[in-house]
């Protein structure tokens, strides 16, 4: 699978090594989000990257034809981050506390040095005595040719039949 | 209901002193919610869904409306029905999927089956059931007492004696027309929409959905975003028509109408839509003017409208069109359903633009709605102080000479007067 010639030589033909690097990268991403280092988090995205959260309880997968919760192109994602740095993003002022848990990391394909990665997630958000739980599966496309890696797309598919926490103000 | 609800009064209006106050207890008290269930949700016309959601014969969907579980469907002949989703046999919900297409419904518990027109369709061996089960209707799915529609918007009423929907909607019909007329081929709900929870009393969202007063304080980050993108266009319409204001539509319904600061896929261009979209949107606008005249066509293109249809339907024709309805789950908790409405057969790029306009502002992941949710939840928390600070003030604009402004609070006073009259009527 990862005999892909675009990959750095040390990762070529070594699934465990590639998965290890990708897991490290995902843990870094989770850590930045946990610590509200939101601008550093945005720097993990390649130019032109997208970030999406499709509707819950359906298999609708195209933000051009059905209503997503989030369908950010690179500019909207950048502006989402800018917004979250402001005190006037009232839903995150004072800021909530978060913990991002990741497991079941799998690489489902590698093309031109870009890995398709899936993993399960559970994200907790705590604010004013209320704990929100978000869970589901992340679908990533990660460019493994750059150093550090860069996210080309991230889609967070919630495994919830409706959005019980109400808000999607944090990055799950 | 006993007099505890009306004595002391929960809605106090003093026109002489320009004061309008609502007791915060109205947002927190379980007895008030129970009174609302009986006096409002059992008696008012409640939004069920849009024709386009069950476009084909035998399409169905299930929905909770007014505390009931409902099947909304089309039968084999295309007739629209609303059934109470409970087996006449022993009560199980007959349809458990959210939506689908089926020639019949079958209760999984004991296998009672029904045609999609609700008729009992099982054939058990002789000796199991008498003839009446098949002929008398006692084994059919129960219809919701009243089901009526206006311009593809379907409503139910659990009060058999309710006034006709058209009478109930009163002045709101004109504003539904302004949405339904935007496309000659009709409008449609796009995708399955957004379903979420807000930990606040349902009436807080009714107020918030037509409240222009909070716009700039709460949503500055959204307007900053529009500014950054070059999407903020504040100049007036270039038309003689000036509509900014508020209208009492009767029966507790109200609308605010104002010059849009944002782009509208139908049909107000802003630079962030791209130069290539400029002629496309200009053509849509010309089409509306041709069909409805300069004044109405320009109004449909340029102006934004936030409308509340009492008690719990919002149709906001703003940077996109949202249909939003919400139901109390508890005094401090509501479930919200929101859908995007678009033109049937809409150009792919415009549809995408419409959906992106929607989710940039609206919904749990938008740049604005979450801050509304935060405001509502903060109000609900603040009401814990109601023994010491017991009243909300909804007086803005009362002393104004001339018609109310869109950022006055008269539209909320329309809601509360209706609420007061309906709650009082069953006391």
Q: Which residues of B touch A (CB under 8 A)?
A: 98, 190-199, 218, 220-221, 224-225, 228-229, 335, 339-340, 348, 351-352, 355-356, 358-360, 363-365, 367, 370-371, 373-375, 381
Burial label, B170 (beta-carbon count in 10 A; 0-12, 13-18, 19+): middle
Q: Does the ipTM surpass 0.90?
A: yes
The pLDDT value given to residue B406: 87
Query: Domain count of chain A?
Result: 1
pLDDT per residue as tens digits for the range B17-66: 999 999 999 999 999 999 999 999 999 999 999 999 999 999 999 999 99
Q: Stretch B159-181: mean pLDDT, rounded?
A: 98
Distance between CA atoms of residues A115 and A18, nearest Å: 9
Distance between CA atoms of residues B380 and B241, nearest Å: 40
Of A57, A66, A80, the CB nearest to B98: A57
pLDDT per residue as tens digits for the range A4-50: 888 888 888 888 999 999 999 999 999 999 999 999 999 999 999 99
Contact at 8 Å (CB) between B184 and B291? yes
Q: Is A49 among the domain residues? A: yes
pLDDT per residue as tens digits for the range B189-202: 998 999 999 999 99
CATH of domain B52-147: 2.102.10.10
Q: Where are the beta strands (DSSP E) in B233-272?
A: 245-250, 253-259
CATH of domain B165-425: 3.90.380.10
- Per the confidence metrics, is the pTM higher than 0.80? yes
Closest approach of B117 to chain A, Cα-based (Å): 27
Say how far residue B127 (Cα) sits from the centre of its chain.
49
CB < 8 Å to B375, chain A: 90
> Does the beta-carbon distance from B348 to A63 stay under 8 Å?
no
Distance between CA atoms of residues B6 and B2, nearest Å: 8
Domain assignment of residue A76, given as a range: 9-57+66-158
β-sheet bridge partners, residue B194: B338
Assign B232 a pLDDT band (cuts: 50, 70, 90).
Answer: confident
Radius of gyration of chain A (CA): 16
Q: Is A169 among the domain residues? A: no
For the domain that residue A77 is a member of, what is the CATH number? 3.10.450.50
* Count, residues in chain B: 427
pLDDT of B427 above 50: no
| φ, ψ at B330 (rounded to 5°) | -165, 170
**Cα angle: B104, vertex B109, B115; to 5 degrees:** 15
Q: Where are the beta strands (DSSP E) in B52-103?
A: 59-65, 68-74, 80-84, 99-101
Distance between CA atoms of residues A95 and A35, nearest Å: 11
Q: Report the residue of A167, A170, A171, A172 to disrupt the B interface, i.e. the one with the largest count of B CBs within 10 Å.
A: A167
β-sheet bridge partners, residue A107: A117
* Count, residues in chain A: 172
Q: Is A166 among the domain residues? A: no
pLDDT of B236 above 80: no
Q: Where are the beta strands (DSSP E) in B85-164?
A: 99-101, 104-106, 113-115, 146-150, 153-157
> Does the beta-carbon distance from B375 to A90 stay under 8 Å?
yes
> Does the beta-carbon distance from B195 to A165 stay under 8 Å?
no
Distance between CA atoms of residues B394 and B404, nearest Å: 13
> Does the beta-carbon distance from B371 to A91 stay under 8 Å?
yes
Of A70, A128, A166, the CB nearest to B196: A166
Q: In chain B, what are the domain boundaries?
A: 52-147, 165-425
The pLDDT value given to residue B148: 98
**Cα angle: B44, vertex B47, B52; to 5 degrees:** 155
Q: Which two tokens stand for residue A16?
A: 């465990």
Which of A143-147, B131-135, B168-172 has the weakest average pLDDT?
A: B131-135
Contacting residues for B380 by C-beta, under 8 A, at least 6 apart: B27, B28, B199, B200, B201, B204, B332
The dihedral built from the CA positions of residue B114, B118, B123 and B126, taken in this order, carries a sign that is: positive
Average pLDDT along chain B: 93
Q: Is A172 among the domain residues? A: no
Q: Which two tokens stand for residue B414?
A: 């329309």
pLDDT of B407 above 80: yes
Contacting residues for B366 by C-beta, under 8 A, at least 6 apart: B222, B358, B359, B360
The pLDDT value given to residue B241: 47
Q: Is A18 among the domain residues? A: yes
């Amino acid at each position: 699978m990862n005999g892909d010639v675009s990959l750095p030589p040390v990762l070529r033909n070594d699934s465990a090594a590639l998965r290890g690097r990708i897991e490290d990268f995902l843990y870094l991403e989770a850590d930045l989000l946990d610590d509200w280092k939101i601008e550093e988090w945005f720097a993990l995205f390649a130019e032109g990257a997208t970030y999406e959260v499709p509707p819950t309880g359906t298999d609708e997968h195209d933000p051009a034809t059905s209503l997503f919760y989030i369908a950010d192109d690179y500019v909207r994602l950048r502006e989402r981050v800018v917004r979250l740095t402001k005190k006037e993003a009232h839903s995150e002022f004072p800021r909530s506390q978060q913990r991002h848990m990741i497991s079941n990391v799998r690489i489902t394909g590698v093309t031109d040095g870009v890995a398709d990665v899936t993993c399960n997630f559970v994200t907790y958000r705590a604010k004013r005595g209320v704990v929100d739980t978000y869970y589901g599966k992340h679908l990533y496309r990660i460019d493994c040719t750059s150093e550090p890696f860069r996210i080309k797309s991230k889609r967070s598919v919630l495994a919830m039949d409706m959005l019980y926490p109400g808000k999607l103000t944090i990055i799950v | 209901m006993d007099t505890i609800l009306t004595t002391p009064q929960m809605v106090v209006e003093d026109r002489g002193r320009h004061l309008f106050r609502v007791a915060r207890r109205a947002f927190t008290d379980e007895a008030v919610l129970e009174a609302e269930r009986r006096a409002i949700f059992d008696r008012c016309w409640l939004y069920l869904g849009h024709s386009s959601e069950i476009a084909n014969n035998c399409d169905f969907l299930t929905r909770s409306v007014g505390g009931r579980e409902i099947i909304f469907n089309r039968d084999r002949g295309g007739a629209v029905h609303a059934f109470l989703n409970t087996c006449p046999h022993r009560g199980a919900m007959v349809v458990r999927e959210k939506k689908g297409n089926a020639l019949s419904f079958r209760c999984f518990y004991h296998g009672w089956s029904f045609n999609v027109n609700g008729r009992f369709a099982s054939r058990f061996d002789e000796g199991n059931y008498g003839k009446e089960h098949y002929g008398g209707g006692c084994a059919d799915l129960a219809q919701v007492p009243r089901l009526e529609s206006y311009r593809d918007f379907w409503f139910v009423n659990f009060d058999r004696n309710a006034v006709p929907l058209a009478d109930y909607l009163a002045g709101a019909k004109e504003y539904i027309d302004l949405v339904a007329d935007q496309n000659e081929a009709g409008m449609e709900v796009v995708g399955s929409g957004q379903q979420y929870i807000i930990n606040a009393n349902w009436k807080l969202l009714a107020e918030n959905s037509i409240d222009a007063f909070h716009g700039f304080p709460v949503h500055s980050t959204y307007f900053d975003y529009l500014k950054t993108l070059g999407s903020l266009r504040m100049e007036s319409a270039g038309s003689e028509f000036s509509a900014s204001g508020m209208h009492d539509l009767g029966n507790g319904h109200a609308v605010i109408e104002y010059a849009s600061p944002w782009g509208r896929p139908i049909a107000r261009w802003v630079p962030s839509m791209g130069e290539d979209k400029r002629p496309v949107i200009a053509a849509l606008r010309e089409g509306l003017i041709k069909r409805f005249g300069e004044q109405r066509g320009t109004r449909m293109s340029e102006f934004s409208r936030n409308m509340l249809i009492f008690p719990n339907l919002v149709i906001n024709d703003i940077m996109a069109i949202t249909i939003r309805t919400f139901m109390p789950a508890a005094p401090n908790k509501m479930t919200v359903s929101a859908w995007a409405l678009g033109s049937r057969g809409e150009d792919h790029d415009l549809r995408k633009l419409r959906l992106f306009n929607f989710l940039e502002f609206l919904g749990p992941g938008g740049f604005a709605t979450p801050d509304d949710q935060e405001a509502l939840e903060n109000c609900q928390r603040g009401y814990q102080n109601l023994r010491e600070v017991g009243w909300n003030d909804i007086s803005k604009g009362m002393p104004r000479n001339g018609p109310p402004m869109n950022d006055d609070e008269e539209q909320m006073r329309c809601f509360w007067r209706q609420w007061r009259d309906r709650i009082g009527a069953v006391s």
